[in-house]
Amino acid sequence: MRIPVGVVVERVKADSPWIDYLWRPTGVLPGQPDTAPWTKLAQDGDRTTFYAGPATIELYRTETTNYRDNLATAAPSLWVVLYPTNAEPPYEIYLVTADPNVADSNSEAILKTISHQNAPNHNGGQLQFSPDGFLYAAIGDGGSGFDPFNNGQDTGNLLGKMLRVDVNNPPDYIPASNPFAGAGLPLDEIWAIGLRNPWRFSFDRATGDLYIADVGEHSREEIDYQPAGSFGGENYGWRCMEGTNECILRPALVQVEALPARAG
């Protein structure tokens, strides 16, 4: 059975220096209105509502039990998945489903909590699944200036690191292939050390190589590089090094580019 629907989304001004807006689906309409996708429906201050476009809910007879309990309730649920386009419009409708096994709003699991109490800055900034299927997390050094607790080089905590976890391997979520997996220090989650504030990173779609944008202290911004065939364990230098500038000691360096820092 195919059920045509229309999707309504909401855009809200974000209180963030990194993004302008937050987007979320707010409604699913019966049928598909004769309205162009991404038509603005209403605006109230910083809150704007759009008709995102048509979609289809598909129900299959052989999988009836997957949605039977949901649809039999007094208030059945639907789940909407939006996919970023990095263009205009900013999202496309990827999926609308009544199957809780496809999209489960109660499936959240906290894998790791990292204490960050010494300063409000240097939080890092990204989670991303890699081509190898593991979840990478870029964690800042704990803040303040010049990493006063040397967290970037301290393998006994997770600050100033790139972490790598296996979300399908509870209870510890540690991939056996992590470079420090096993008893004692360094901590098992660590994939690489020596980062200051790695606010963005990306895997090359063609090669799988990893590039990390790490914010510098005063004179250098870093683009750190890890080839796809790496076994992990890289030391990107902070706080001993800021790009190509020596701060305290000189460990083995692996960054591929050092750019002059700009104010702001």
Q: What is the pLDDT of residues 38-94, one digit of tens each?
A: 999 999 999 999 999 999 988 876 666 667 777 777 777 888 988 878 788 888 998
Same domain, 254 and 132: yes
Same domain, 83 and 156: no
Within a domain: 80? yes
Residues linked to residue 7 through DSSP beta bridges, in sequence order? 28, 53
Same domain, 89 and 133: no
- How far is the C-alpha of 243 from the C-alpha of 240, rounded, in Å? 10
Q: What is the mean pLDDT of each run of 10 residues along the chain (264 residues)?
A: 92 82 92 94 95 89 68 81 82 85 64 77 83 92 85 92 92 93 91 92 92 87 92 92 69 46 49
Predicted local confidence at residue 134, as pLDDT? 93
Measured CA to CA in angstroms, residue 2 lies from 9, 58, 84, 114 at distances of: 22, 5, 25, 45
Same domain, 161 and 225: yes
Range of the domain at 220: 126-260
Within a domain: 226? yes
Residue 237, sorted as left (phi over 0), alpha (psi -120 to 50) or beta, turns out to be left
Same domain, 137 and 214: yes
Q: pTM, whole model, 2 decimals?
A: 0.59
Same domain, 60 and 139: no
Same domain, 140 and 196: yes
Predicted local confidence at residue 216, as pLDDT? 84
Cβ neighbours for 155, distance < 8 A, ≥ 6 positions apart: 180, 185, 186, 187, 190, 193
Within a domain: 117? no
Same domain, 142 and 223: yes
Predicted local confidence at residue 201, as pLDDT? 94
Predicted local confidence at residue 66, as pLDDT? 65
Give the three-state DSSP class for 68.
helix
Within a domain: 121? no
Same domain, 214 and 148: yes
CA 196, 202, 204, 207 dihedral sign is: positive
Report the number of distinct structural domains present in the chain.
2
Same domain, 156 and 254: yes
- What amino acid occupies position 106? N
Same domain, 142 and 91: no
Predicted local confidence at residue 78, as pLDDT? 87
Within a domain: 107? no
Same domain, 131 and 74: no
Within a domain: 55? yes
Predicted local confidence at residue 74, as pLDDT? 74
| pLDDT tens readout for residues 214-223 | 988 877 889 9
